[in-house]
Amino acid sequence: MTNSDASGSIAAIIEDYAALLRQFEAFSKNAVSQSEALGAICVAQPYPTYGEFSIKIAGHTLYFNLTSLLDGNQKLMGAVECYQEKKYPRLEKIKLGQFTFNPKGDTSEREPSQNIQLSIEEEADALYLILPFINKSLA
C-alpha cells in the first residue's frame, strides 16, 4: 500500500467515524425520548460526542456505548453495546448485548413483525432497538 493509499484509507475511516458519531447522536436523542415515554429517567444528558449515554428505568441503569469495528470488506461499522450496572454484591457492568450499524444508519436488527431493517436514526426504530435491552435488564 502506498502512502497516498494509506492516507486515503485513513481519511475514509475518519469520515466514516464522524458519520457513525452523527448516527449515534441521533440514536441517543431518540432513545432518550422513547425511554422517557416509557417512564424512564435519563440519568445524565447524553454524551454522543464521547459515544455513550445512559438511561434509568425501574431502578436499573443501562449504559449504551459506541465502539467501531471493520467489517469483512474493511469498511468501518459502529457497534452499540448495552451494559447494565449491578451494585450488589459488587459494582460491575454486565453486557446485555449489542447491535451494529453502518455510516448510513442501517442496523443489523430487524423489526420483528414485518421483518424490516431498522435505522439507528429513526425515532420509532429507537424503541425497537432499546426494548430488548430493557427487557433483559428486568428479567
Instruction: Determine if the peptide bond prior to 89 is cis (ω within 30°).
Output: yes
The chain-wide mean pLDDT, for the chain, equals 84
In angstroms, the Cα distances linking 131 to 57, 64, 74, 93 are 11, 13, 30, 18
* pLDDT digits 0-9 by tens, 52-79: 888 888 888 899 999 999 988 888 999 9
Q: Is the pLDDT of residue 48 over 80?
A: no
Structure confidence at residue 24 (pLDDT): 92
* Angle, vertex CA 118, rays to CA 112 and CA 119, nearest 5: 165
* CA dist., res. 119 & res. 11, Å (int): 25
Structure confidence at residue 4 (pLDDT): 47
Grid coordinates of 118: 431498522
Structure confidence at residue 91 (pLDDT): 86
- The closest alpha carbon to 40, from 139, 136, 128, 134, belongs to 134
**Residue 139 DSSP SS3:** coil
What ranges do the domains of the chain cover?
3-138
pLDDT band at 17 (very low <50, low <70, confident <90, very high): very high
Pairing of strands 60-70, 76-86: antiparallel
Residues 113-117, mean pLDDT to the nearest whole number: 86
Residues 111-129, mean pLDDT to the nearest whole number: 88
**What is the H or E stretch that residue 13 is in?**
helix 3-37
Structure confidence at residue 10 (pLDDT): 85
**Higher per-residue confidence, 110 vs 82:** 82
* CA dist., res. 133 & res. 129, Å (int): 8
Structure confidence at residue 88 (pLDDT): 82
Which of 33-42, 63-72, 98-107, 126-135 is predicted with the least confidence, judged by mean pLDDT? 33-42
Q: What percent of the chain has pLDDT over 70?
A: 87
